Chains A and B, each alone.
Chain A
Amino acid sequence: MAAIEDRLEELFVNDANNRRVTSVNIPPRHGPWRGVVALTAVAVIVGVVALAAILALRGEPQAAAPKVTASSAPATSIATSTPVTSAAPIAAGAITGELAYPSDFIPALKIFAISASDSRKWYRVDTPLSRTSLSYVLPNVPAGTYRVYAYTQESTTTNWAGGSYTEYVRCGMQPPCSDHTVIVITVSAGHTTEGVNLRDWYAGQGAYPPPPQ
């Protein structure tokens, strides 16, 4: 048997070469609108503060004061009104959970989050074969609602084996649980939706859609 150092190197090389980058999405650092918006916000705040000060000096009722407090509001509304371009940061979150498979190992899987509102939109991550419990992370999933499925790597659109996060999983996968309805999960920007455990491989033929191509 080879020395453990050599076997480690082989293992790392194998893992390292199993994916490659297809694109890197980068937001612009100094969008032309950002400066204009920031200057406008400063001008609005300065104007409101000045107006409040003038009114206070004139002995007007203190009702002017809330205007000063409210001057922070434009900053919020300005931030949301910043033009959004395709290069802007994606309002994305992530999905994580555990994987299971009806065997003493978990085969290499392809995991899909399929948009509940438009099944043509999906996000995928692959996991390697494992003999222990395995979790997955689906990063950079745009905010929205999804159904999540795991398929064996060999699955095709005509012949597939799939698992999912269903009411059966949530119920505990014990009698009298029998509902295999796939649960729609929600992804929020900047948050990780956890516990989407893809354990239900028992829903029966045709219960899950074929893997997207």
Chain B
Amino acid sequence: MNGVATATVSELDERSMVLAAQDGDDAALEWVLHRLGDRLLPLALALCGGSGDADVLVSDSLSRIYEHIGELRDPDAITSWSRRVMVRRFIDQQRWFRRRPRVSIETVRVATSLATGPEEIDLRDAVSRLDRRDRALLVLHYWQRVPIAECARELDIPEGTAKSRLSAALRRLRHELEESHGSN
């Protein structure tokens, strides 16, 4: 290693494609949005509990990225920026249908072993009843392994608030699951 920053070919490609998209290259923009769509859909599905809402959320988020990609100052930050765009839109669902999305996606179901045991269903129920901001915190921190400080930035809340919300959400989930098991 000689001290020169290294990057994988795909990272270099992505950076140059983002720059080209910002420069008005439609083909590069399409490439970037396809890539982001692939990356954002799993997160959207986790946020939306696997429901069809995820398609709407991704379409809406990609539409916003399409319209504002020129304002992104650091092309290397495209992934974290697009994730932030989507998480914030997830929290405010009213925005989704405010206007027609300019970018739309089509998806196909992939055969997976959907969790169908009673415990999984109880957990899914309990998570779906959480506030959207808390759900986003759980997904970002426990699945995407995003540090608390970054979660807080993405959700636009103080770090201390993110910590306390996260532990309160876990407490509530444990409580609901205990109640559910107690009643079974």
Query: Which residues of A line the B interface, CB within 8 A?
Result: 1, 4-5, 7-30, 89-94, 105, 108, 111, 125-132, 134, 136-140, 189-192
Nearest-neighbour CB distance to chain A for B38, whole angstroms, equals 5
The answer on a CB contact under 8 Å between B120 and A11 is yes
Q: Evaluate whether A8 and B127 lie within 8 angstroms (CB atoms) in the complex, with A18-B109, A21-B41, A127-B51 already known.
A: yes
Q: B41-81 interface mask toward A, CB cutoff 8 Å, 1 = contact, 0 = none?
A: 11101101111111110110010001000000000000000
B125 interface residue per 8 A CB criterion: yes
* Bound Cα distance from A151 to B141, whole angstroms: 35
| 16 A-B pairs (CB sep. < 8 Å) | A4-B173, A4-B174, A5-B142, A8-B138, A8-B142, A16-B43, A20-B38, A22-B108, A24-B30, A94-B97, A128-B49, A131-B125, A137-B55, A137-B56, A139-B101, A139-B104
Rounded to whole angstroms, the CA-CA distance of A129 and B125 in the bound complex is: 11
B residues whose Cβ falls under 8 Å from a Cβ of A = 24, 26, 29-30, 33-34, 37-38, 41-43, 45-46, 48-56, 58-59, 62, 66, 97, 99-110, 112-116, 119-125, 127-128, 138-139, 142-143, 170, 173-174, 177
A91 CA / B100 CA spacing, docked (Å):
8
The majority secondary structure among interface residues of chain B is: helix
Contact of A128 among B50, B110, B119 (CB under 8 A): B50
CA distance in complex: A9, B174 (Å) = 15
Among A1, A29, A125, A129, the residue within 8 A (CB) of B55 is A125
Residues of B within 8 A of A128 (CB): 49-51, 114, 124
Distance of A15 Cα from B174 Cα, bound (Å): 20
Complex CA gap A12/B34 in Å reads 22
Nearest residue, chain B, Cβ from A131: B121
CB distance from A197 to the nearest CB of B (A): 15
> Which residue of the partner chain, among A7, A22, A91, A191, contacts B123 with CB atoms under 8 Å?
A7
A16 cross-chain contacts in B, Cβ below 8 A? 42-43, 45-46, 143
Choice from B24, B29, B33, B41 contacting A19 with Cβ under 8 Å: B41
Measured between beta carbons, the chain A residues less than 8 angstroms from B105 are 21, 23-25, 140
Which A residues touch B52, using CB under 8 A? Answer: 111, 125-127, 136-139
Write out the residue numbers on chain B whose beta carbons fall within 8 Å of the beta carbon of A137. Answer: 51-53, 55-56
Q: Is the CB of A189 within 8 A of B100?
A: yes
Cβ of A29 and Cβ of B142 under 8 Å apart? Answer: no
CB closest residue in chain A, given B43: A16
* A94 CA to B24 CA, complexed, in Å: 30
A189-B100, A190-B99 are known contacts. Are A18 and B38 too (CB-CB below 8 A)? Answer: no
